[in-house]
Structure 1
Amino acid sequence: MIEIKDLQKSYQMGSNSLHVLKGINFNVKEGELVSIMGSSGSGKSTLLNIIGMLDEADQGSYTLDGVPIKNLNEKIAANYRNKFLGFIFQSFNLINYKTALDNVAMPLYYQGVKRKERAEKSMHYLEKVGLADWSHHLPSELSGGQKQRVAIARALASDPKVLLADEPTGALDTKTSYEVMDLIQGINDEGKTILVVTHEDDIAQMTKRIVHLKDGLIIDDSKVEQVRASVHV
């Protein structure tokens, strides 16, 4: 599903060049649940941004579902993001003046899906995350855990090939974090490919494979015995 070969990325910082990714080789098969770990400055956010087509590598290749991702203009990149990827962010990134239902419908709006179908699909995904009764509430009326569930429903609404979760539990307490991971594990059990960036070891243990980054290189990539979040919920 994801094939990355010798990925290199540097940023110009004044007169200096900061070499952030120093030759990343990384493959993810369809249906995997992978966590990416590393301290601040390890390159994990840069790697996720390149996978998410929010940034582009200087060298190396990136193929997503058989499609080479290279030299995309912003319009094509946005189109590919909408087609291939669903994003879940630490800060939820919900639109404050729109209801939960309208927030979930946003990717479908950009795909040109008609209003009635948008509403039906959005309601389906809100039901899936256990928030059907909250569909007409604004984000300000929801708890942190509920906001993240809305964000997950939004990420799923366009039926992406890959879900990218950037610190999805970073703003949540432990109990709510495990509830969110229980939901993510359930989505993965249905066959969805998911990447989770986290600095929390207990969250990483709830995935099936942990990739450790340090100073722009992968220093360890291991399959793990998955801890089920439902045990803790």
Structure 2
Amino acid sequence: MIEITNLHKSYKTGANSLHVLKGINFSVKEGELVSIMGSSGSGKSTLLNILGMLDEADEGSYMLDNVPIKNLNEKIAAKYRNKFLGFIFQSFNLIGYKTALDNVAMPLYYQGMKRNERIDRSMAYLEKVGLADWATHLPNQLSGGQKQRVAIARALASDPKVLLADEPTGALDTKTSYEVMDLIQGINDEGKTILVVTHEDDIAHMTKRIVNLKDGLIIDDSKVNQVKAIQHV
């Protein structure tokens, strides 16, 4: 599903150049649940931005579902993001003046789906994450965990090939974090490919494989015995 080969990325900082990714080789098969770990400055955010087509590597190749991701203009990048990827963010990124239902429906609007179909599909995904009764509520009427569930429903609504979750539990308390990870595990059990960027060891062990980055290189890539989040909920 994802195939990255010899990925390099540098950023200009004044007269100097900061080499952030130093030859990353990384692949993810369809249906995997993988966490990416690393301290600040390890390169994990840069890698996620490249995976999310928000940035481009200087060198190396990135294949997503057998499509080469290279030299995309913003219009094509936006089209591919909408087609291939669903995003879940630490800060939820919900639109404050839109209801939960309308937030979930947003990606479908950009796909050109008719309104009735958008509403039906968005309600189905709110139901899936246990929030059908909250469809008409605004984000400021929801708890942190509920906001993240809306964000997950929004990410799933367009049926992406891959879910990219950037610190999805970073703004949540422990109990709520485990509830969100239980939901993510359930979505993965249905066959969805998911990457989770996290700095929390307990969250990483709720995935099936942990990739550790340090100073722009992968220093460890291991399958782990998945801890079921429901045991902690």
Distance in 2 of aligned mates of 1:154 and 1:111: 13
Task: Name the amino acid aligned to 2:141.
Answer: E
SS at match of 1:119: helix
Q: Distance in 2 between matches of 1:51 and 1:23?
A: 15
Query: Equivalences for 1:1-233 in 2 at 5 Å?
Result: 1-233=1-233
Q: Distance in 1 between matches of 2:6 and 2:216?
A: 11
For 1:124-176, what per-residue CA distance to the aligned partner results, in whole angstroms no more than 9, with x for missing partners? Answer: 00000000000000000000000000000000000000000000000000000
- In 2, Cα distance between equivalents of 1:71 and 1:43: 21
1:200 and 1:128 mapped to 2: Cα distance?
A: 26
| Structure 1 outlier segments of 4+, above 6 Å | none
Alpha-carbon distance in 2 for matches of 1:105, 1:16: 44
Aligned equivalents of 2:77, 2:198: Cα separation in 1: 25
Paired with 1:16 and 1:198, the residues of 2 have a C-alpha distance of 29
Following TM superposition, by how much is the alpha carbon of 1:186 offset from its aligned partner in structure 2, in angstroms?
0.1
> Aligned-pair distance for 1:59?
0.1
Query: Gapped runs of 5+ residues in structure 2?
Result: none
Give, in whole Å, the separation in 1 of the partners of 2:227 and 2:170: 19
- Between the aligned residues of both structures, percent identity stands at 88
- Counterpart-to-counterpart distance in 2, 1:8 and 1:213: 14
Tell me the SS of whatever aligns to 1:145: helix
RMSD of Structure 2 on Structure 1 (CA)? 0.2
The TM-score normalised by the length of structure 2 is 1.00
Which secondary structure does the structure 2 equivalent of 1:54 belong to? Answer: coil
What are the superposed Cα offsets for residues 192-226 of structure 1, whole Å, 9 maximum, x if unpaired? 00000000000000000000000000000000000
